[in-house]
Structure 1
Amino acid sequence: MIGIPKLNKIDFLVLIVIVIIGLVHLPFPFDGDQAFFRLGALEMQQGKVLYRDFWDVKQPGIFYFYFLAGTLFGFNEIGIHVFELIYMVAFSLILLLTLKSYFRHRMIASLVPLLTVGVYYIVSGAWDLTQVEALVGFPLFLCLWTTSQSFKYEGKKRFIFLLFSGFFGGIVLIFKLLFLLILLPFWLTILIYYVLIKNRSIAKELIVISPPLFIGIIFPLLPVVCYFAWFNSLSILYETFFIVPPRIVANLVFDKSNLISGIQWFLSGFYPLILVAIVAVNISLSKSKNILTLLLVVWCIFAFGVIFLQSGALWEYHYLLLFVPVGILATKGLDILWQPLKELRSPITAIVLIFLFFLPFSYPLAKKSVILAQNNFALAEDTRLKYQSVFREKYPSLRSEADFISQPGSLSGDIYVAGDPSIYYFSDRTQATSLRGWALEYFLPEQWPKLIEQLDISKPPYIFIDYIQEPIIKDKFPRMLEFIEQRYRILRQNSNGIWYIIKS
């Protein structure tokens, strides 16, 4: 039997700190992505089928997460972020329980949630919270850990660990199929390790490893496939997952500015962890060839590969794929450095070094906390909006757009917004079409006529064209603007965009 590690007082203290850090972020505003995920999840709750009635190119995991969060706690910022906090606290608990034996010093082992989940919260803004790359760290870690544990056993126990490795890998794929490029190296690493360390044949090991991994992967994926088969949506599922993404990528242009800004964001937020993690990698692998360290390095390498494969985007939140392995390796680095620090003649030197390590994380957390306190902890609606507007300046103006069509006498019904989906959120309305109005730059040529057809059928009472999206529409499909001008008249025009109302 595998002994279950026990939590100590420092562990519980760290978990309390994680909860406090998370509470500071509960009132954080939605960015456009989060508002869009919330919109899709809300439509699912209302009985619509993903991809058939509400289309996006992303895999369903993120919409399932928001669906569960909204159903349990409400389809608003607080509700979504409460569920994320519970999810991250559970992740922190798993990190504490699974990594005790990885570290030599118990006190340092207790810090691993702070340097992973805690740092994630501290460096994240409105755009970064509850993104796919952040949420997938939990099942990715479980896949990595069960993979590493499988190396320690033979027979039935090894089969079970590989089965769970495949299961958690399947959950990762529900979030994003591209992450298979991280999962496969995990499993190939353990295969190569067995061949080199235990002198097994590759063919024999493949026969042993493949069945449990395959069964594990299929287990979470099969219900998803069956659900869409039930609604006769397998064809659109296949097209969305395997046909559309390569075509979108082929049309994208490499954005050097996104690459630079993304790397700058990652380095500025994580550089203390990166420096200490390098120490861990260098010493841990050179001395003991630790399999867990090796898998964490593999995670980092192939996560970077996945990020750079998305060359047309390269958004800053993509680098959140790295917050888990970098944080764990940084904790390992502290674990390695702890003994030399204790042996220093002057304890002041050790205290100063530890202070300098944590200093870059203290400022953004203190800033967020002070702003929250200044706005009466965002408990009332007006103070919450003031707090949110600090972290997303456009939030009040987006709310004013929604208020405009929520006045007495306004036409009822679903609307179409070619722009920020936050307008749906503030207006408490849903999307009149299955095709989105968010990120129109990724639309394929055949989707534009379909969008006009859906607008013609649904006849939304209001259409909003954001000034950011308007030039994209003019360039890609000017017929859409002609259609709107024929069927609608301008109701209001301001610095954000143009409201159209349907002609009577």
Structure 2
Amino acid sequence: MIVIVVIGLIHLPFPFDGDQAFFRLGALEMQQGKLLYRDFWDVKQPGIFYFYFLAGSFFGFNEIGIHLFELIYMVVFSLILLITLKSYFRHQIIASLVPLLTVGVYYIVSGAWHLTQVEALVSFPLFICLWLTYQSCKYQGNSRFFLLSLSGFIGGIVLIFKLLFLLILLPFWVTVLIHSVIKRQKVQKLFVEICLSTFIGILYPLLFVASYFAWFNSLPILYQTFFLYPPQIVANSQFDKIQFFSGMKWFLNNFSPLLLVGTVAVDVSLRKSKNILTLLLVVWCIGNLGVILLQRSALWEYHYLLFFVPVGILAAKGLDVLWQPLKELTSPLITILLIFLFFLPLSYNFVKKSVVLVNNNFALTEDTRLKYQTVFRKIYPSLRSEADFISQPGSIPGEIYVAGDPSIYYFSNRTQATSLRGWALEYFLPEQWSKLLEQLDSSKPPYIFIDYVQLPTIKKDFPTMLEFIGQRYRVLRQNDNGIWYILL
């Protein structure tokens, strides 16, 4: 647990990537009284914004504040793993390694782009849901009904992060149903104990969220965001082979040692003992792969973080199986050397991050922190300079619009003038472009920034926006990053 804390502390000053800066922006606007989806829109479910809202409210809406809250969250998760999985392992020394092989590995393999993403954060409630489902196999009647209702409730929390994760949750409960049918339990009784209980449980958090938005008369936009826009976005996109292979490469480079050891666990645990928990972990992995593939045009590296918990637990189980043969080697030094060599790629990442932190005096001051952050995100100083440009004495105050990296909002300490985002414009639908233009016309932000990365998308999908800006704004500054416009 001390090692987990140390690894996490190394990541506290890590920079925001575009996604993290965007989540932080949404959470900050929520704190300032704006309503998600009505006043600040994104296609994602609200869970990630709630997480950043809590993190920022407790520790500050900056890199250290968000990452500190995540570290506390992950430390609690590590303790839960230790407590719940004790009986899953024969050797307690291996059981104690589970947090390192899950949470520890998550931190070690993650860069600025991967930290505090939905797929990483949701692993905690996903595991709780799986463990409660597993425990329900040991009981019948009211006890099983209660455990599965609680499992459904936690599953509802998972869906608040992303509705697509239902494809991971359903196989958990179907596995228990099939397991109970094999044990020749009554089908009618199974329906009440498993199907009805999980359905009731899952409804509570979803109804709570729906009631909240209904209170503000925002159910229509919630319905559009969750159920109408995603199918249209998927229909307008194509399977990105390059991104798929890039993500798979990242995953295999970082998780191959765990996958190899985990294969031993799957073989022995299922073939010899038919362990239901091992089966559920395998089902989790299969569900993860299905969820990733269904996202077609957005097969990003961080999506594979869905695997870090089940693969890490199975790897620990594999070590548990191999521990006795390893102990019987002629020298304990050989055992230690073999394990070290096996996990060498992970050790390299950890050492590299540690050395960078030490070389920058532990990033304790603003200057050393920026140098440290620049190592892990080279564009950071450039984005900061863009924000400094509109933060000079005499600059016009007010909300701005950035068609590009939301980190500019963070560095300039400004918020977004429109409800529609300027991040990931390639996923906009035609009607959203027209609505964005209306919002720019009504809000009249004093500054607009067009990133060169987003410029081709705007030219292709909605050149009218550039005509509008040309009529209402003049070029204030142009450099290698993009173009600043100021209101006439």
Do the structures match in fold with TM over 0.5?
Answer: yes
CA distance in 1, matches of 2:266, 2:278: 7
Q: Are 1:55 and 1:435, in contact at CA under 8 Å, matched by a contact in 2? A: yes
* Local SS of the residue matching 1:446: helix
Matched letter for residue 414 of structure 1: E
Q: By how many angstroms is 1:203 displaced?
A: 4.0
Residue identity over aligned pairs, in percent, reads: 77
TM-score, normalization by structure 1: 0.96
Mapped pair 1:81 → 2:67: yes
Q: By how many angstroms is 1:344 displaced?
A: 2.0
Matched letter for residue 224 of structure 2: E
Matched letter for residue 161 of structure 1: L
Q: Spell out the pairing of 1:224-263 with structure 2 (5 A cutoff).
A: 224-263=209-248
CA distance in 1, matches of 2:140, 2:192: 14
CA distance in 1, matches of 2:114, 2:394: 38
Counterpart in 2 of 1:180?
166
Q: Are 1:137 and 1:324, in contact at CA under 8 Å, matched by a contact in 2? A: yes
Q: By how many angstroms is 1:260 displaced?
A: 0.9
CA distance in 1, matches of 2:462, 2:81: 50
Q: Are 2:153 and 2:202, in contact at CA under 8 Å, matched by a contact in 1? A: yes
Counterpart in 1 of 2:445?
460
* Local SS of the residue matching 2:476: strand
Q: Spell out the pairing of 1:347-362 with structure 2 (5 A cutoff).
A: 347-362=332-347
Which of 106, 114, 133 aligns to 2:92? It is: 106
Counterpart in 2 of 1:391?
376
Counterpart in 1 of 2:193?
208
CA distance in 1, matches of 2:322, 2:428: 51
CA distance in 2, matches of 1:219, 1:371: 46
Counterpart in 1 of 2:126?
140
Q: By how many angstroms is 1:295 displaced?
A: 0.2
Counterpart in 2 of 1:315?
300
CA distance in 2, matches of 1:161, 1:223: 21
Counterpart in 2 of 1:12?
none
Counterpart in 2 of 1:38?
24
Matched letter for residue 376 of structure 1: N
Matched letter for residue 168 of structure 1: I
Q: Spell out the pairing of 1:109-128 with structure 2 (5 A cutoff).
A: 109-128=95-114
Counterpart in 2 of 1:163?
149
Matched letter for residue 375 of structure 2: V
Q: Spell out the pairing of 1:189-338 with structure 2 (5 A cutoff).
A: 189-196=175-182, 198-338=183-323
Matched letter for residue 399 of structure 1: R
Q: Are 2:144 and 2:193, in contact at CA under 8 Å, matched by a contact in 1? A: no
* Local SS of the residue matching 1:212: helix
* Local SS of the residue matching 1:500: strand
Q: Are 1:133 and 1:320, in contact at CA under 8 Å, matched by a contact in 2? A: yes
Q: Are 2:153 and 2:198, in contact at CA under 8 Å, matched by a contact in 1? A: yes
* Local SS of the residue matching 2:486: strand
What do residues 222-263 of structure 1 show as CA deviations (whole Å, max 9, x unaligned)?
221111000000010011000000000111122111011100
CA distance in 2, matches of 1:29, 1:180: 31
- Larger deviation: 65-74 or 339-348? 339-348
Which of 114, 139, 146 aligns to 1:153? It is: 139
CA distance in 2, matches of 1:319, 1:147: 23
* Count of residues in correspondence between the two structures: 488
Q: Are 1:191 and 1:202, in contact at CA under 8 Å, matched by a contact in 2? A: no
* Local SS of the residue matching 1:417: strand
Q: Are 2:141 and 2:193, in contact at CA under 8 Å, matched by a contact in 1? A: no
* Local SS of the residue matching 2:430: coil
Matched letter for residue 356 of structure 1: L
Q: By how many angstroms is 1:347 displaced?
A: 2.8
RMSD: 0.8
CA distance in 2, matches of 1:202, 1:421: 53
CA distance in 1, matches of 2:485, 2:92: 62
Q: Spell out the pairing of 1:26-65 with structure 2 (5 A cutoff).
A: 26-65=12-51
What do residues 102-155 of structure 1 show as CA deviations (whole Å, max 9, x unaligned)?
000011000000000000000000000000000000000000000000000122
Q: By how many angstroms is 1:381 displaced?
A: 0.4
Counterpart in 1 of 2:398?
413
TM-score, normalization by structure 2: 0.99
Structure 1 unaligned blocks of 5 or more: 1-14
Structure 2 unaligned blocks of 5 or more: none
* Local SS of the residue matching 2:448: strand
Counterpart in 2 of 1:366?
351
- Larger deviation: 150-159 or 92-101? 150-159
Matched letter for residue 284 of structure 2: W
* Local SS of the residue matching 1:490: strand
Which of 460, 466, 474 aligns to 1:489? It is: 474
CA distance in 2, matches of 1:67, 1:425: 15
- Larger deviation: 115-124 or 157-166? 157-166
Structure 1: 4+ residue segments shifted above 6 A: none
Counterpart in 2 of 1:21?
7
